[in-house]
Structure 1
Amino acid sequence: MSGKPQFEKEADEDGRFVRQESRFRELVMERPEAGRYHLYVSLACPWASRTAIVRQIMGLEELLPMTVVDPIRDDKGWRFTDEEPDPVNGFAYLKEAYLLTDPSFDDRVTVPVLFDIQNNRIVNNESAEIIRMLNAWAPNCHDLYPPDLRTAIDEVNDRVYNSVNNGVYRAGFATSQHAYEEAFDELFQTLDWLDDRLATNRYLLGDEITEADWRLFVTLVRFDAVYVGHFKCNRRRIADYDHLSGYLRDLYQEPGIADTVDFDHIKRHYYMTHPELNPTRIVPKGPELDLWASHDRDRLELRRGTAA
């Protein structure tokens, strides 16, 4: 792996990180036949992880097969491994799927990818849209985007995406002090706002888990292990928040969610893939995280039930 920055095209003249737009945006809202599509993810990547989470909680494992790529992304992008090879075309790198779909593609290859096996092309590589599709494919499961909450969910998602999900990247990949401090301040203002919100709500929109919770979770679960040090987001840890810390443990302890979180993949990816931030590529052994500790978040629902 060279020392070439992997986000060099995604910066403005003031040193702000500007994330590239997803290229493939076709929507498939009707439930397909089993095996029509294939999902490519990295367990290191928060954007891909939220699709893996929704696939799992919606019980779509048989409908939608999934392949996990190697957590170490090099100059050629995400690669497949001998332990988990590409079962669709036998590709060595995910970039081959991009070039098969669009031979002129010359941007950064990202995960997740929803691939159409029948037509041998990428359908969508935007995680926000993929999770909406997967939610629609399981109409008998708990709706993560219920009609009566959609406006509120969209409002929370918008702030969380800009300030938290992408905010940690805006801080970590800033190339000027001003750009870094701007992202840093917005990040912690929003984390404080979320902590206050969760003082009286078990989840972001009340007593039921929604899409907004899983979109936030994937950043929170990586925060203390990676973003505090690697991305210089070090005002405080999630463990230091009164309510966010228990909320994180509450979501982590939902059935099957821990299986989608791989701290080995997460830490090796971040610390070994960004040479401009960690030229030695030394992966830290810590921190110790006890995400199975009691969260006591259900007391919020009990308190409202007693008051009623």
Structure 2
Amino acid sequence: MVLPLLGLLASDIVTFGPGTSPEFQDTVRGISAAVEKGDKAKASRLLALLPAKTVTYSWDESAIPKASRADFATARDKAFMEWNGAAPGLRFKKAPQGALQFRFSPLLANRPEDANPLGVAIFFNEKAAPRMESIIGLSRSLKKVPLTVTELRGAVRYSLARYFGLSDQAQGGVRRPDLPGSPGILTNSDLRTVGGNFELIDKLRVAVQENKPVQTGAPQLSIDPATVDIGTVTQGDKIPFSVQLSNTGTAPLSYATQGDCGCVVGTPPGVIPPGGVVLLRPHVNSTEYSGK
């Protein structure tokens, strides 16, 4: 997985770790353009769409069976606590009209790639309250298995990640909740990226207040080859392969490699400057696969 970052080209350059979402980046670019045009009102409106350290949320539990409501609320609060290390002063406050709205549905629509229902449906709005709606499905899989407390905690964790400016991940605590397997835990990378997002928001707030122009560049990624065919292998083989990444854009590009299963062993993350090239050498470990 390779994801881009923005450069904030004022007195400092602030970079995002891999995983910053398109919604977050687009909002930052909108603020940049508004400040450059002298439209402080628009810049302030867009700034209000970015996450705040006091996260206001509403929790509509009317669709949850009464016997599960207390346990679900406890799991929600535990998911909130997992994010406490992301930024100093981060706290959660329940409010009738919060920036983050949680609702529940007996069954969500099917995932695009198969007939299984979505675990969570996320919707972003162009207003501060609610900025994001998270609709959590109360049933999982084709067998419509009831949502468990552990799955609920994972769904809330994921929803907060999306609100804080992270995109879907293949593994770990920010993985999409309807994928097979148990929810993971937050990684240091997740927390660092969110912490970097809040640092950028603080810098943008100062720029808007002081009417200082903010310039944002845009990285551009080229991958060669786009697909890799490792052919037929025997269980236990370790198959190395190479992928070249090029940044043809105007800002640094942050990257990390991550497979959608444990068989893909990635390489350390890094940053490619504009015009730069890097050669990655991950490998596939076939130990967990039987036969050829």
Normalised by the shorter chain, which TM-score bucket?
Answer: under 0.3
Bigger strand fraction: 2
Bigger helix fraction: 1
TM-score with structure 2 setting the length: 0.28
TM-score with structure 1 setting the length: 0.27
